[in-house]
Structure 1
Amino acid sequence: MEMPHTPEQAFTYLVDPRNRPEWQSSLLSVDVPDDEEPHLGQAWTELTVVGVRPSLVVTELVPYRTWAEVGTWRGVRASLRLRFTAMSGGCRVTAEGEVSGSGLYAVAAGSSGLLAKRAIAADLRTAGHRIAARLEGPPNE
């Protein structure tokens, strides 16, 4: 996904779990302290629109370059890595992920993994709009 924002702007917004319900369509809320800044090892839980409450942890954080997380819920494990590359007029955000499951959750994990690529692309487009709105600030009255 190409965005008309600097890697710093995109990274700062996307890696903060507190922002995720604004741009990630599958989320209702996140449970992370309001004053906690993103950091390696940061952990939180999410509430999804289907009622699942995965636990997540940041596994990689290189400011403005790379960020990764692993999420688990019962027999499902999902990983996501975002890479930020500067480009003329903005940046490219590359998402890499994997969903796996064991036992009864193997089929569900496989199905969700197939749908994830399209959902992540749509969510990143939404994030781009949210970043732009934040940079523009409130409308002048």
Structure 2
Amino acid sequence: MSRPIRFDVSCEEAYDYLVAPDNRPEWQSSLAAVADVQGEDNVVGQHWTDVTKARLRPHMELTDADRPHRWSERGTWRGFSATLTLCFTPVGSVCDVTVGLDMQARGIARPVGAVLNRMAPSAVRSDLKRAARILAERAGDAPTR
């Protein structure tokens, strides 16, 4: 997932939109809602529950927040855990976002974890492209890619 995704807004705007749990169902295809959000947006330790369309409810926590450069979150559900890191690079007046994803599975979930590791990167990229389109539309611009 090393190719960046272009956001036609500033890094601050992209960061603020992506880091806020309440925005997630709008751009994250697997989410129906978020619940139990506790703590302030963009503050390490903020946590919430993702309510997925598949009715899974992973616990999420913001683990790194360096606005507008980088943020990381960790999600856990039963034998699975995943860490997502987004890095924001200004390109003139717009922003490139690069993604790091590390998924782990324990015990009998290991084979499923291996499959998820292969599938998840394309899903994350697709979701981020959706977020870029949403922000471009709000800014009144057509997305560049």
Q: What TM-score do the two structures reach when normalised by structure 1? A: 0.90
Counterpart residue type for residue 127 of structure 2:
D
**Alpha-carbon separation, structure 1, partners of 2:92 and 2:36:** 34
Work out whether residues 6 and 91 of structure 1, in 8 Å CA contact, stay in contact via their aligned partners in 2: yes
Aligned residue number for residue 45 of structure 2: 41
Aligned residue number for residue 139 of structure 1: none
Answer yes or no: is 1:77 the counterpart of 2:81.
yes
**Alpha-carbon separation, structure 1, partners of 2:85 and 2:130:** 18
**Alpha-carbon separation, structure 2, partners of 1:39 and 1:133:** 27
Aligned residue number for residue 129 of structure 2: 125
**Alpha-carbon separation, structure 2, partners of 1:33 and 1:44:** 4
**Unpaired stretches in structure 1, ≥5 consecutive residues:** 137-141
**Alpha-carbon separation, structure 2, partners of 1:28 and 1:132:** 23
Answer yes or no: is 1:105 the counterpart of 2:109.
yes
Aligned residue number for residue 11 of structure 1: 15
CA 1:122/1:107 → structure 2, altered by over 3 Å: closer, same or farther? same
**Alpha-carbon separation, structure 1, partners of 2:35 and 2:118:** 27
Match for residue 31 of structure 2 among 5, 15, 27: 27
Counterpart residue type for residue 42 of structure 2:
P
Q: 1:129 offset after TM fit, Å?
A: 1.4
Q: Aligned with 2:72: secondary structure?
A: strand
Identity percentage over the alignment? 35
Q: Please say which of residues 95-104 and 24-33 is displaced more in the overlay.
A: 24-33
CA 1:102/1:35 → structure 2, altered by over 3 Å: closer, same or farther? closer
Work out whether residues 66 and 82 of structure 1, in 8 Å CA contact, stay in contact via their aligned partners in 2: yes
Whose relative contact order is higher, 1 or 2, with alpha carbons under 8 Å and at least 6 apart?
2
CA 1:77/1:33 → structure 2, altered by over 3 Å: closer, same or farther? closer
Q: What TM-score do the two structures reach when normalised by structure 2? A: 0.88
Match for residue 96 of structure 1 among 92, 100, 115: 100
Aligned residue number for residue 63 of structure 2: 59
Number of aligned residue pairs: give it.
136
Counterpart residue type for residue 130 of structure 1:
I
